């Protein structure tokens, strides 16, 4: 069972629909015990990192997510669900995040033009990750749907599985062991977004089969 964390994120219904469409067996939950017991976890999100961290902390979920991330179970963070995995965010003043990945959440540069970035943009794979299971049957350079004003400046470039250009070349996918995090919204990204979620669900099934 995949636990989809419910902390009031606006994209939760669309993320749940997309995951169910590709065959996910899931439970929408705000219960830390359910998250800890799940075979895999999805952390969706839109909005500000500070609000997200506040909600997750009030639910008691922020306190257990680093443990979940270190457990070896498949984990997918989406948009703000990616950003809160870093050490700190500069959005509305510096504040601590979960610290799963070293790095900072920073504002897109004004040179990017319109901020937030809203719309479709290319996702280009790092050569070392081009054959990763999460990208199976998705051509390099495919377009995904973005809605964000901030990006993840990851300390370790070896974790950056894909990049996107918008004022600067920023990480749009981070991968490490069981952990996957994407800046775009796969649930709003049509064919390729559904394929990415399908790949994640298959990764979850393979993980369960080896337990």
Examine the residue annotation and report whether 165 is marked as an active-site residue of this protein: no
Dihedral sign computed on CA atoms, order 177, 85, 58, 149: negative
Q: Could you give all domains of the chain from N- to C-terminal order, each with its CATH number? A: 2-209 (3.40.50.880)
pLDDT confidence of 211, banded at 50, 70, 90? low
Give this prediction's pTM.
0.96
The active-site residue, picked from 91, 97, 152, 187, is 187
> Among residues 91, 152, 185, 204, which one is catalytic?
185
Instruction: Judge whether 132 counts as a catalytic residue.
Output: no
Looking at residue 210, what is its pLDDT? 76
Q: Where are the alpha helices (DSSP H) in 22-147?
A: 32-37, 49-59, 65-69, 80-83
Across all residues in the chain, what is the average pLDDT? 96
More confident residue, 160 or 111: 160
pLDDT digits (tens, 9 = 90+) for 22-79: 999 999 999 999 999 999 999 998 889 999 999 999 999 999 999 999 999 999 999 9
Is residue 79 part of the annotated active site? The answer reads yes
User: Which of these is catalytic: 79, 97, 152, 204?
Assistant: 79
């Amino acid at each position: 069972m995949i636990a989809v964390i419910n902390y009031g994120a606006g994209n939760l219904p669309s993320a749940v629909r997309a995951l169910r469409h590709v065959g996910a067996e899931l439970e929408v939950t705000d219960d830390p015990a359910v998250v800890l017991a799940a075979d895999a976890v999805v952390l969706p999100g839109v909005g500000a990192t500070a609000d997200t961290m506040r909600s997750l902390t009030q639910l008691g979920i922020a306190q257990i997510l680093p443990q979940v991330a270190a457990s070896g179970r498949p984990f997918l963070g989406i948009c703000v669900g990616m950003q809160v995995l870093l050490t700190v965010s500069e959005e509305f003043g510096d504040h601590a995040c979960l610290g799963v990945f070293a790095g900072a959440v920073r504002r897109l540069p004004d040179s990017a033009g319109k901020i937030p970035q809203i719309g479709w943009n290319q996702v280009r794979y790092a050569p070392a990750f081009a054959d990763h299971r999460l990208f199976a049957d998705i051509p390099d350079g495919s377009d995904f749907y973005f809605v964000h004003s901030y990006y993840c400046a990851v300390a370790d470039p070896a974790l950056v599985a894909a990049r996107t250009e918008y004022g600067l070349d920023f990480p749009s996918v981070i991968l490490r062991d069981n952990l996957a995090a994407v800046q775009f919204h796969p649930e709003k990204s049509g064919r390729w977004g559904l394929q990415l979620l399908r790949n994640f669900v298959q990764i979850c099934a393979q993980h369960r089969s080896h337990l």
